Amino acid sequence: MIVERHAPEIEAIPMPEPLLELEGATLQYKTAQHLVTATYRVSFKVYRADRFILLGPSGCGKSSLLKGIAGFVKPVEGTVRLNGRKVAAPGPDRMMVFQEFDQLMPWRTIRENVMFPMRASHRYPKREAADRAGAYIDKVGLTKFADAYPHMLSGGMKQRAAIARAMAMEPDILLMDEPFAALDALTRRKMQDELLQLWDDIRFTVLFVTHSIEEAIIVGNRILVLSPHPGQVKAELNAGQQGNIGGSAFTELRDRIHDMLFAERVEGAT
């Protein structure tokens, strides 16, 4: 009897395509007197539904990386790709939320502020923009304040409105530059939880800049640790399953990152 032998079938597991990919990105600023290198050959990949954190000391180039991804600053070396295409200019597929409380236009209501990018980009007709604004204002718990003006809202509420405005555009990636840094500690914790709830609901992709190790572990599922100026990648870590703040897994990761960020300083100390 002839027995036919087949090679065992090996199922190839396809690797997902990165949504955002930086390859050796060096960012510089030219001023009249100086050439400032903000980041040096930074590479990383962000996948869909990542909560990707850029963590590093002041001046290491975190905001510059966001500006590079947003398309405001062009790398002098390396590339920034979104959906496989080189980023050449700002676009509505990348929405930013900043630290400042005055991101909203004070002469427009919260609803009008949220509608503004949808209308200005001609992405949505008026009716749809209004519906989407209402839905996202609701998601961030501001329905009662939809027709209020920004000065009538607390700092945390204004940040929620800025998040609703960015999310309503349904960008490919949400770029958040220390969005909660100017809030008091309690509001900041609340906002971190709310952002995670929103993520549970919508599963958006977010690139989040912070210099707080705790915030990085709470908010992120992946953390890119950057070296001091000019920023280079020190490590990439997985987070997201660290359990309770103050629990052993959380403090272990926090201490590890702390050592990573302060190692040189500690070694050099007398």
The residues that touch ligand ATP, with contacts defined as CB under 6 A, are: 29, 31, 36, 38, 56, 58-64, 211, 229
| CA dist list (Å): 256 to 124, 138, 225, 232, 235 | 46, 39, 11, 18, 11
Whether 222 contacts 50, CB under 8 Å: yes
39 or 192, CB closer to ligand ATP? 39
26 or 64, CB closer to ligand ATP? 64
Going by their DSSP bridges, the two strands 35-46 and 20-30 should be labelled as antiparallel
Least CB distance to ligand ATP at residue 54 (A): 8
Nearest to 150 by CA among 194, 107, 191, 96: 107
Q: Which tokens go with 129?
A: 């923009």
SS3 20: strand
39 or 109, CB closer to ligand ATP? 39
Least CB distance to ligand ATP at residue 30 (A): 8
Least CB distance to ligand ATP at residue 227 (A): 11
Least CB distance to ligand ATP at residue 241 (A): 27
HSE-up (13 A, CA, CB side) for residue 33: 0
Residue 135 belongs to what H/E stretch? Answer: helix 126-139
Least CB distance to ligand ATP at residue 220 (A): 16
Q: Cα 116 from chain centroid?
A: 21
132 or 211, CB closer to ligand ATP? 211
Measured distance CA(97)–CA(103) in Å, rounded: 8
227 or 242, CB closer to ligand ATP? 227
SS3 48: coil
59 or 91, CB closer to ligand ATP? 59
> DSSP label at 53?
E
CB-count burial class (<10 Å; 0-12, 13-18, 19+) for 115: buried
Whether 219 contacts 210, CB under 8 Å: yes
Residue 168 belongs to what H/E stretch? Answer: helix 155-168
Least CB distance to ligand ATP at residue 36 (A): 4
41 or 229, CB closer to ligand ATP? 229
Least CB distance to ligand ATP at residue 256 (A): 21
